[in-house]
Structure 1
Amino acid sequence: MTQHDPETSSRTRLIEAAILCFAEKGFDATGIREIAQRAKANSALVQYHFGGKTGLYAEALRHIFRSRPEMAPPMPAGTGGPEDRRLAMATLGEIVEGLMDELLACADGTELDRASLLLVTRELQSPRQDVADLILEHLRPTMDRLLACIRVLRPDLETLQAHEYMNSILAQVVHLHNNLKLVRLIRKEPDYPQDFKAVARHITEFSLRGLAVPEAFPGA
């Protein structure tokens, strides 16, 4: 089917309307009829295309994930040699920068972008059981790469300790996303950050210091 096919068009409209509605009211408070009205489509098409509201919710998340650029920085080999450690530091920085780009671009984007980010954030904070596997599938490549970097840089860490470091790195990005308006208010900079890459470098450097990686700061 082409993009101009009426069936494809109605399906896309329903997905986009669902993202807006679910973001505004949450899953339980959103009705199929409300979504259909917003999409200017017959409510029976929700069952036809997605098998019901739960299927539409899952497809809305898939649509959001597919629309984001895929982050695929190289995976450190795990040898622990100097080159592998340099790659781990660079990859960690690329992951942080990619997350910053995605989260902050959505925060200042279109209504659909902001709704998409709100919906995903809410789902990450309190995953619904019926989409938990979908969420994990989306997150796993980034998490695996970040953990691989930490294990190369700190091979002495136990698995749970490595996860704590990963959580600390992610928490810095999530804080900016969740509290961006507050950060802008505190800094008295309504368009902060003007240079998200500079903020990403700060988070990366802060994280490498927290990981106690000596070669990241020669002469320090």
Structure 2
Amino acid sequence: MTPIDPESNTRLRLLEAAVFCFAEHGFDGTGIREIAQRAKANSALVQYHFGGKTGLYAAALTHIFTIRPLPFEVVPSSPDEPNARERAIHAFHQLVESLLREMLACGEGGDFDRAAHQLINRELQSPRPDMVELLRGHIQPLVDQITRCMRALRPDLDDEEAFLSVNSLFGQITHFHINLPMIRMMTGDPAWPRDVQALVRHIVQFSLRGLAVPEALPGARP
């Protein structure tokens, strides 16, 4: 993620400043004046461009999702499509890899990267009621993609089983995201994981075996 040029237009400067301020202090702890000062802009422009602090907060979240898009893979829409199982396993692998690399990159980039991750994590852990639909709109397509992969491989899953399986996958990836410093401490390797593909394969195999997918039996590789 590339920080916005300080000389770019005022609206973009306000967005970047908002990401930093909201990440540091949260919505309630951040004032419009503080954001405007950081952006070197007139505070009245927050109302002009965004309609107020809530609009700016929503725009800041959208800005992060826009410049850091969620992965998209071609996923079978039905288990009856030609080569649906092979395509589903391939897409599942690619989605896991994209998400894991994104999570592991948290904190490895510049200040804006870290602030963006911090703000998204803050909002996901304690969503503001007026931001729920915005978050769902950005996250639901990814959830739907993973669910379609699982249904192509296990068409017998009911809605609750599919929902729990998707959340189990996210739980694995989130663990490596949140607890990376602890994992590196336990391994004694400050650069762990050195082989991201091996970690991706483990998560994919573990998940598919949990779903009793025959292709994930010992010796098989997605």
The normalised TM-score by structure 1 is: 0.91
Distance 1:179 1:148, change over 3 A: same
Is 1:18 aligned to residue 18 of structure 2?
yes
- Percent identical among aligned pairs is 53
1:23–1:119 contact (8 Å) kept in structure 2? yes
CA RMSD of aligned residues (A): 1.9
Q: Distance in 2 between matches of 1:168 and 1:137?
A: 21
2:70–2:142 contact (8 Å) kept in structure 1? no
1:68–1:102 contact (8 Å) kept in structure 2? no
Displacement of 1:89 in angstroms is 1.1
1:54 maps to amino acid: T
The size of the alignment, in residue pairs, is 216
Q: Distance in 2 between matches of 1:138 and 1:81?
A: 27
Q: Distance in 1 between matches of 2:218 and 2:113?
A: 41
| 1:33 corresponding residue in structure 2 | 33
| 2:133 corresponding residue in structure 1 | 133
Q: Distance in 1 between matches of 2:67 and 2:130?
A: 21
| 1:58 corresponding residue in structure 2 | 58
Q: Please, which runs of 5 or more residues in structure 2 have no aligned partner?
A: none
Distance 1:218 1:194, change over 3 A: closer
1:99–1:173 contact (8 Å) kept in structure 2? yes
CA offsets per residue over residues 84-107 of structure 1, 9 Å max, x none? 111111111111111112222233
Q: Distance in 2 between matches of 1:39 and 1:11?
A: 9
- Name whichever structure is richer in helix by fraction: 1
1:13 maps to amino acid: R
- 3-state secondary structure, aligned to 1:182: helix
1:4-153 → structure 2 map (5 Å cutoff): 9-80=9-80, 83-153=83-153
Distance 1:81 1:40, change over 3 A: closer
Q: Please, which runs of 5 or more residues in structure 1 have no aligned partner?
A: none
The normalised TM-score by structure 2 is: 0.91
